[in-house]
Amino acid sequence: MGHFTLRVALAQLNTVVGDIAGNADKIRAAIRDSAELGTDVLLVPELALSGYPPEDLLLRPSFARESRQALDDLAAEVRRGVAIIGFAEWDRDCFNSVGLVADGRVQSVYRKRFLPNYGVFDEARYFQAGQETAVIDVNGSRVAPAVCEDVWYPTAASLDLVAARPDLVAVASASPYFQGKGDRREAMLATRAADAGAALAFCNQVGGQDELVFDGRSAVFDSAGEVIARASEFEEELLVADLEPAAAERRRLREPLVRRLPGDGPRQAAPLEALAAAPGPPIERRIAPTLEPAAQVWNALRVGLRDYVDKNGFPGVVVGLSGGIDSSLAVAIAADALGPERTLGVSLPSRFTSEESKVGASDLAEALGIRLVEVPISGSVDALEAALEDVLSGHERDVTEENLQARARGTLLMAISNKLGHLVLATGNKSEMSVGYSTLYGDMVGGFAPLRDVSKTWVYRLARWRNTSEGREVIPSAVIERPPTAELRPGQLDTDSLPAYDVLDPILTDYVENDLTPEELVAAGHAPDVTERVVRMVDRAEYKRRQGPIGIKITPRAFGKDRRMPITSRHAES
């Protein structure tokens, strides 16, 4: 196994944006825990002191100054070894920085050089880019700090790191989750480590922040790009690993590829005063297993919902439980995230609600152990229709009367929320949101939509996974197998208004997430008439989506910060 000389700790933390004091307390605990383990280098996530992403809080210089003050206060806790701590820095401009802390003070600062400005990222709006690579000497080992995007691509920042001949690249990150990203990210980081001929430590944030959820999955790679330590997904953890810097030196001699790179060659390590860490107990190597895809998505939804509710101080959630698949999945996620005692199901039957729906809601509530109350809406709908009788006289009954039912339900759920303080969860999925198959101020009512980025196909997949993982029928099989229906008129089915979901969802993936044109969609095998209809529905529904509640991003391109289309537009794809 070799003689290890450098011990690295990665504090995978769940921070809260704006809670500088609370975040500092988490970092302080990590400093103390890692010191007890004899850690030479402690690494925490990107902008750990401010939380990520702080958004327009960064437009207030006082916010960054408070972040720096907290860093200086924390520095007194670091007496042995080095801590690399992410913070927002104000120096006549704002920087995404890490403080290099040792011997009780901030010895120097590294500023993020490569600022992402795509998808959910707006860092060019807030930060000035740094210009310099830093290398510090930690007990005879060369350590180069980097911040997230600095190593994401083979850019000048990455090349400069390689040219600096570090023994360890220490990457502070806030990399949000979407399906498949963890594997892709790990493969990229392994390549960066191998390219540099250096060990690489990647410390990622974990937890939910509004529509983003961070999966953690911090990891340490050796100089050949092999994973030698990995933290759990979606959980806070202090991951510790021992490294042999001499192995990196030997590899660079055997494979001297960095000699051909442009640049200034090896940089002198910055002077840094640090007492050597006290020897700690032996560390058992930990490589946490990764979750399978459905388990990853479930945990992303669970953690994202839990943190939105808890960080915003809601005592619990209320869900309109129709007996259908979407509300059943949403309430199951809520019960997992918050516990049954904080999850209230509300059945809101109308004259069109089937006995099958009532039984499905009741069976699910019993399986989850949540409270279920019934609030019939027939009287409310009758009163609304009576109030509108004169103004709508002479018009045939149509979708207007159907939507009154959804809006009556929304009003009653919000009344319960107002009285109890619970957050209303909207239960619509991405397929419905994409094409506008929803009622404004009706089933779209709510403060948070956990399934907003979950296609109908994935709704079914997650429901089946939940039952399999539990080893029992939590979501009733009758609910899963039943054709989806809004039950706003007799015999209504979703397929009366939409293509079948196994036809619809692939078109939506290609159009919304992959940006294929209608011509490319048809060339990919989608039926021309269905494609034209779906594209038109997606484009027309932008105004609805803009008014809906936020939800958890789980795909590479979610509505909202990812996909930003104008509401008023005369450009049509079809």
Catalytic positions, written as ranges: 46, 112, 148
Quick one: 567 exposed, middle or buried, by C-beta within 10 A (0-12, 13-18, 19+)?
Answer: exposed
- Longest distance between any two alpha carbons in the chain, whole Å: 88
Q: For residue 330, what are its two tokens?
A: 């949403």
d(CA 568, CA 52): 32
SS (H, E, C) 427-442: CCCHHHHHHCCCCCCC
d(CA 423, CA 481): 29
- Dihedral sign of CA atoms 560, 564, 569, 573 in order: negative
HSE-CB at 204 with a 13 A cutoff on CA atoms is 28
d(CA 433, CA 444): 9
Compute CA 289 distance to the chain's CA centroid, rounded to the nearest angstrom: 20
CA end-to-end span of the chain: 62
Q: Say if residues 447 and 423 touch (Cβ distance below 8 Å).
A: yes
Q: Which three-class secondary structure state does DSSP give residue 372? A: strand
CB atoms within 10 A of CB 24: 22
Which contacts (CB < 8 Å, 24+ apart) does range 381-385 have? 381/350, 381/405, 381/408, 384/408
CA distances, 212 to each of 23, 55, 453 (Å): 18, 13, 11
d(CA 313, CA 216): 23
